[in-house]
Structure 1
Amino acid sequence: MDKFTKLTGVAAPLPIVNVDTDMIIPKDYLKTIKRTGLGKGLFAEMRFREDGSENPDFVLNKPAYRDAQILVAGDNFGCGSSREHAPWALLDFGIRCVISTSFADIFYNNCFKNGILPVTVSPEDLEKLLDDASRGANATLTVDLEAEEIRGPDGGVVKFSIDDFKRHCLLNGLDDIGLTLEKASAISAYEQTAATSRPWA
């Protein structure tokens, strides 16, 4: 998993409340267990018309936001079913950070396991960040996980707080497998001892 320390990138505004996981990645795209290739299905029902052409009114189809790495979204982002394909699709598209006033719990935790930083801010701070994100090509935010702050294009700062363990994992690029591998030497030592003391096992 890639580390997340500091990200400076274009922020796309998505001021919609209750964006559920089916909106993030529709069920038609759940036929794979691969983490790659799902970016094409991200927000598919909003990004594309029935004939398959792009909806020019959807924010991620606008030229200024096609390479957005940050999403500033409405309240209760990631609600609905617990599909892990949702953070996979965001990451495959290029989104490394989602900012909202609240997240569904399972989606929130899945983000950390996949290298995405979900940031919870106050409604007042969200309004400021949505205003920053509405500036098109100038909608650049810096999200600093080490300092736990977001810096806007005009120098404004929004502070946030992340659980220490989750912060440690993202800063060091540790998913569940990575955390286990940190104990590789202890695991090997245990297996060697067990093999000697219980050769029949």
Structure 2
Amino acid sequence: MSQGEGAEPVRRVEGTGVPVRGDDIDTDQIIPARFLKVVTFDGIGEFAFFDQRYDSAAPPEPRDGDGEAVEVDDEPKDHPFNEARFRDASVLVVNSNFGCGSSREHAPQALMRWGIDAVVGESFAEIFAGNCLALGIPTVTADAGAIEALQDFVDAHPDEPVAVDVAAERVSYDDVTVEASVDETQRTALVEGKWDTTALMAANEEGIEATAASLPYVDD
């Protein structure tokens, strides 16, 4: 990584879709609170939507990051994340106010580690969208009719690709192109590769050191 570079730009995401229907799906549904005890985010993806996916008499504890899979003995519920036809999906299609509730960063971490690279929906909670941006996951909005049609399409055609063009603010599938919206700050950060602040700082180490040295309240 050269001086001044940040993360890889995210201009376009393409993959198969998975529909998760319902308004006001909050972060506790995306990742239940008992899974926030993990020291790292390793393995958290398998617990995405856990309580919507399983009838659990004795909820499991999160794994400790040793790389071993957790065996889930609970009875599975009818949920898209349990369906084999959606297991390789990378574009999540949701409805309104997705990611509301607490500001837990574990929610987008769980989705990303399950395999999600982009989320398309009617609207998103602001903090959730910000946490997604920190991971390079675009949150793209479209009107309710377009979202319902896209959910119906991916439900009927789980192997067909959905293209999310962040730069052009469009979502395409089959022979359909949907005019979408991406928050301007998010779009600029993703397209220019400035979404990862840690990477930006690492890429500008000399500038940071020079600024720090010029501050009278920073010790050598």
Q: Note whether the superposition's TM-score is higher than 0.5.
A: yes
The residue number in structure 2 matching 1:36 is: 42
The 5-angstrom pairing of residues 23-172 of structure 1 reads 23-50=29-56, 52-53=73-74, 55=76, 57-153=78-174, 155-171=175-191, 172=193
State the Cα RMSD in Å.
2.5
Q: Evaluate the alpha carbon distance shift between residue 53 and residue 114 of structure 1 in structure 2; reply closer, same or farther with a 3 A threshold.
A: same
Q: Are 2:4 and 1:11 aligned? A: no
Amino acid across the alignment from 2:186: K
> Normalization by structure 1: what TM-score?
0.86
Q: Which amino acid aligns with 1:62?
A: E
- Per the TM alignment, residue 80 of structure 1 is displaced from its structure 2 partner at its CA by 0.9
Worse-matched range after superposition: 117-126 or 22-31: 117-126
SS of structure 2 residue aligned to 1:30: helix
Give the aligned residue type for 1:111.
Answer: C
Report how many aligned residue pairs link the two structures.
198
Unaligned runs of 5+ in 2: 1-6, 58-72
Asked if the contact 2:154–2:160 (Cα under 8 Å) also holds between the matched residues in 1, the reply is yes
Give me the whole-angstrom Cα distance separating, in 1, the residues matched to 2:99 and 2:112: 14
Do the aligned residues in 2 keep the contact of 1:4 with 1:170 (CA within 8 Å)?
Answer: yes
Unaligned stretches of 5+ residues in structure 1: none
In the TM superposition, what whole-angstrom CA distance separates every residue of 1:76-114 from its partner, at most 9, and x where no partner exists? 100111111001100110111111111111111111011
Task: Say if 1:66 and 1:120 are closer, same or farther in 2 by CA, change over 3 A.
Answer: same
Moved more, 48-57 or 70-79: 48-57
Identity score, percent? 34
